[in-house]
């Protein structure tokens, strides 16, 4: 099964020119480019790198995407995803960083049929997906994945797309310096003043190569895995949190669930961190 998304078969290439071209389709000096299409030369470059599809994508049902999520999660090796995440830190391979959250999100999700809230027209109360929906454009999801390590971390269609692409990704094995960097980041998060918000914590991670959005995305991934979580807003590391049980912020908040709840006083969850990297689970002395 190829899954709901038709992308080219085989590995894609992490080709600098192609990645720049992919970004240029969707993002310009003023931010998002609406309705943009690549010119023929750009499309050819993207196709050659395995980063573009011209295939039309269809409407899908909730039950299809849930089945696809359960299947792709079962085929994905957690240890591979963990290594890729660590290997993404110094290399800035955001396409490798994303899968940690996508797998954490779907791994404990029960296989289930569409179940709306009683008497409501809305989405599924378990996963938040509509009964039927138009799939997002895969080339756009691919751009988001390469540029920010994903943004729709709690959307099943992104998780499925991301894990399917992860299987096609050239890997970057993490080295000692990557593990040391992650340890330094965790120490920094543990030493922040208790009232530090997630946005301020992201700004404090100057040791992590990348921009502010990338650092915020990094924290969102840790939060989805339950490494940064609160009693009110648990992550997905140990168990799936049903959509109907996820508190939403009052007022404006750009951060995803559950990071929006977190401040440094909530700490770093040792148990969920141990699932990522046992050696980092306990605070280090000196």
Q: Which residues bind Zn ion (CB under 5 A)?
A: 124, 126-127
Nearest distance from C-beta of residue 126 to Zn ion, angstroms: 4
Q: How far is the CB of 65 from Zn ion (least distance, A)?
A: 9
By beta-carbon distance, which residue lies closest to Zn ion?
124
Residues 6+ apart with CB under 8 A from 158: 102, 136, 141, 144, 150, 151, 152
Structure tokens at 152: 């729709």
| Shortest distance, position 231 Cβ to Zn ion, whole Å | 25
Burial of 241 (0-12, 13-18, 19+ CB in 10 A): buried
Which of 49, 124 has the CB closer to Zn ion?
124
Nearer to Zn ion, 204 or 242 (CB): 242
> Do the strands 31-32 and 27-28 form a parallel or antiparallel pair, or are they unpaired?
antiparallel
Structure letter (DSSP) for residue 255: S
3-state secondary structure 237-264: CCCCCCHHHCCCCCCCCCCCCCHHHCEH
* Between 51 and 241, CB nearer to Zn ion: 241
Helices H / strands E in the chain, number of each: 12, 4
State both tokens at 71. Answer: 């299947």
Residue 62 CB, nearest distance to Zn ion (Å)? 6
Q: For residues 52 and 236, which CB has a smaller minimum distance to Zn ion in the complex?
A: 236
Least separation, in Å, of the C-beta of 243 and Zn ion?
Answer: 7
- For Zn ion, the closer CB: 146 or 161: 161
CA distances from 27 to 24, 137, 186, 195 (A): 5, 15, 32, 34
């Amino acid at each position: 099964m190829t899954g709901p998304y038709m992308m080219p078969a085989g590995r894609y290439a992490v080709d600098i020119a192609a990645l720049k071209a992919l970004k240029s389709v969707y993002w310009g000096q003023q931010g998002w480019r609406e309705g943009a299409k690549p010119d023929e030369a750009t499309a050819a470059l993207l196709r050659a790198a395995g980063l573009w599809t011209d295939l039309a994508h269809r409407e899908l049902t909730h039950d299809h995407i849930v089945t696809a999520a359960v299947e792709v999660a079962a085929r994905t090796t957690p240890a591979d995803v963990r290594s890729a995440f660590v290997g993404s830190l110094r290399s800035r391979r955001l396409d490798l960083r994303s899968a940690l959250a996508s797998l954490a999100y779907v791994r404990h999700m029960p296989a289930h049929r569409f179940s709306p809230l009683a008497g409501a027209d809305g989405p599924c109360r378990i996963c938040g997906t509509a009964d039927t929906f138009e799939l997002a454009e895969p080339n756009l999801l691919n751009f988001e994945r390469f540029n920010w390590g994903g943004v729709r971390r709690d959307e099943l269609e992104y998780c499925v797309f991301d894990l399917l692409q992860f299987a096609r990704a050239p890997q970057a094995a993490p080295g000692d310096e990557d593990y040391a960097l992650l340890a330094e980041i965790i120490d920094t998060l543990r030493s922040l003043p208790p009232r530090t918000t997630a946005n301020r914590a992201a700004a404090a991670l100057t040791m992590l190569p990348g921009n502010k959005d990338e650092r915020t995305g990094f924290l969102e991934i840790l939060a989805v895995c339950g490494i940064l979580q609160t009693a009110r807003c648990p992550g997905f590391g140990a168990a799936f949190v049903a959509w109907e049980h996820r508190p939403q912020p009052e007022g404006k908040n750009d951060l995803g669930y559950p990071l929006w709840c977190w401040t440094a006083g909530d700490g770093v969850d040792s148990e969920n961190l141990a699932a990522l990297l046992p050696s980092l689970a306990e605070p280090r002395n000196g």
